[in-house]
Chain A
Amino acid sequence: MSERYSRQTLFSPIGKDGQEKIRGKHVLIIGAGALGSGSAEMLTRAGVGELTIVDRDYVEESNLQRQQLYTEQDVALKLPKAAAAKKRLQEINSDVTIHAVIGDANPEKLAELAVGKDLILDATDNFETRLAINDISQKCKIPWIYGACVGSYGMSFTIIPGKTPCLNCLLKKLPIQGMTCDTVGVISPAVGMVVSHQVAEALKILVEDWEAVRPAFVSFDLWRNQYSSIKVGKAKDESCLSCGEHPTYPFLEAENQTKSTVLCGRDTVQVRPPKPLEIQLDELAKQLGALGYTVKGNPYLLSVEMKDERVVIFKDGRALVHGTKDMTAAKTLYNKILG
């Protein structure tokens, strides 16, 4: 073996054997935004065998502050993130086989992509996709690592099927109106901290050092100097529909997915959450207004003028995205606003 991985193999919990194991593994990364860029770069440098990275979005100027794989040229070319990521990762390490998948990580796509993977890394921006990843992970017995951040705050948790509780055990109720990076901002150190937690766990799993896997849910706030680690062993719920004794994998079902439909002749896409939400419109209006968008509203809805689109959000979480016929673009925008 060349010197390339010498500092990693000198680290005794990895060693030469661990390096061989890392080399033989295939990791699936869902999302190529801030978290996905960071973990893809670390795993590529670490010499993972294969990496598949899926993303539905393209590179924009506001990504450059924290999405470490992208450049001004990628913005000018409006490159899809998965394609731009592959290009950069290939330059970093030509030994790693990188598969770029440009598209929506819906349950069908996830089921297809999960085949043959050793680990799934979460780098998405919404809970719906995370719960679908959680179900796929349980169904296919593939570990996955949750990671999320907003502002200076971040969190991570490692889910090992058959061993730890799953995300559905922990989130009894889906957090609605999750704050997103597009509404309240994010600083890159928070991204890096989450990525570091996720990739450290990933390396443990890739070298099969199961004993070292962190059994706790960590969260931290780098600005307010808070750090917490909570033990979750007793959260494992035998009646959980994702990981319990009789799983039904509810988040893979169509009825639990956000629906988007193109409204005929109106250049508008309707996005509808699986269950009606109770959006705090005044709070959301404040956040979006602070970002410089023109927001108008009444007790029933908000109308937000974005760059190219106008989005109307109803109190129950339904939204009309005017100015596009692209369902994926509309869903992307929806998740950016509502998480």
Chain B
Amino acid sequence: MNKVLFFAHLRDAVGEESVEVEAAGKTIAELKQQLAEAHGIQKLDAVMAAVNEEFADDDEVIKEGDTIAFIPPVSGG
């Protein structure tokens, strides 16, 4: 299993701070697509991802037990 954490407005959109999914073997891009469909939220293309608190790009393959966090960059100032 993998824990997926959502930050800021993503947490509101999903309705939960985190979810448990089977994501081992999937890439970050695939997980983003799966989550967007499962939760009926906007595409996560431009959302930053971290695996075990380390920056991960879209091609990174998720391993069993990894914790994935999605962090949406914002522009206000």
Contacts and interface: CB of A to CB of B under 8 A. Distances in A.
Contacts of B76: 125, 148-150, 178-181, 186, 339
A172 interface: yes
Chain B at the A interface: SS class? loop
Interface stretch (A68-76, A219-227, A257-265, A316-324): A219-227
A170 B55 contact: yes
A278 B69 CA distance: 25
Interface string B21-49: 00000000000000000000010011110
Instruction: Classify chain A's interface size.
Output: 35 or more
Contacts of A174: 46
Given A230-B54, A230-B55, A234-B55, A147 B48 contact: no
A152 to B, nearest CB: 8
Contacts of A154: 74
Interface string A164-177: 01000011111110
Most buried by A among B50, B71, B76: B76
A229 B75 contact: no
Interface of B: 5, 7-9, 11, 17, 42, 45-48, 50, 53-55, 57-58, 69, 71-77
Across the A-B interface, give the 3 residue pairs with the lowest CB-CB distance, nearest first: A178-B75, A150-B76, A175-B46
7 contacts: A148-B73, A148-B75, A151-B8, A172-B57, A175-B72, A180-B76, A226-B17
Interface of A: 31, 33-36, 122-127, 130, 147-151, 153-155, 165, 170-176, 178-181, 184, 186, 217, 219, 221, 224, 226, 228-235, 280, 283, 339
